[in-house]
Structure 1
């Protein structure tokens, strides 16, 4: 049995890069805590992943751009969405005044026929 931990515990201090911590990793599944302190995707960079990603903002705020959508999405505490595999997206902004804590669940796409 593993120890009980808290997703808000042992938070990193503000840094140049986001802090990504793997909480659970299994074949076809990865759960991460991401702490953003004002970071955004580099200019011209798009995530284009081979897996589905479900994300939830637990605290803070962010602006997420989905390439196929005309407007950015504002995410606040409690907001979540599923980003399907190959859906190009980027983080436009995260709150520099307070940590934005994300829960990200990466899941291999289901390739079963039937």
Structure 2
């Protein structure tokens, strides 16, 4: 892959599933492209990972919710957020009309 907006996996093209593709794996860091086509986190489910995650929306839009916050954060192209390790969060919605392309950087905190 040499372009984040080309060569989408069949599951993303046909809006069958959210896709995750590793772009770089190195000690302490993983960079991936995520393509969402209307998917959201299942009800009553929260993500809570051991590593930190910095994520940016490159195309489309999404609603991201943190357990400790009452409001959903709406993300549009260029919006990014850093998710600390062990922070419970979920994707409330992603754009159903255009693919939402995310770039996620998973990394280990030195704290």
* TM-score w.r.t. length of structure 2: 0.93
Instruction: Check if 1:7 corresponds to 2:4.
Output: yes
Tell me, which stretches of 5 or more residues in structure 2 are unaligned? none
SS in 2 for 1:90: strand
Superposed CA deviations along residues 37-95 of structure 1, whole A, max 9, x for unmatched, are: 00000111100010000000000000000111110000000000100001100000000
**1: distance between equivalents of 2:45 and 2:107?**
22
Between structure 1 and structure 2, the one with the greater Rg is 1
**2: distance between equivalents of 1:49 and 1:23?**
19
CA RMSD of aligned residues (A): 1.1
Tell me, which stretches of 5 or more residues in structure 1 are unaligned? none
With 60-69 and 8-17 compared, the bigger mean Cα shift is at 8-17
Name the residue aligned to 1:27. 27
**2: distance between equivalents of 1:69 and 1:16?**
30
Equivalent residues, number? 108
Name the residue aligned to 1:100. 100
Superposed, which structure 2 residues align to 1:29-108 within 5 Å? Answer: 29-108=29-108
SS in 2 for 1:31: strand
**2: distance between equivalents of 1:19 and 1:48?**
19
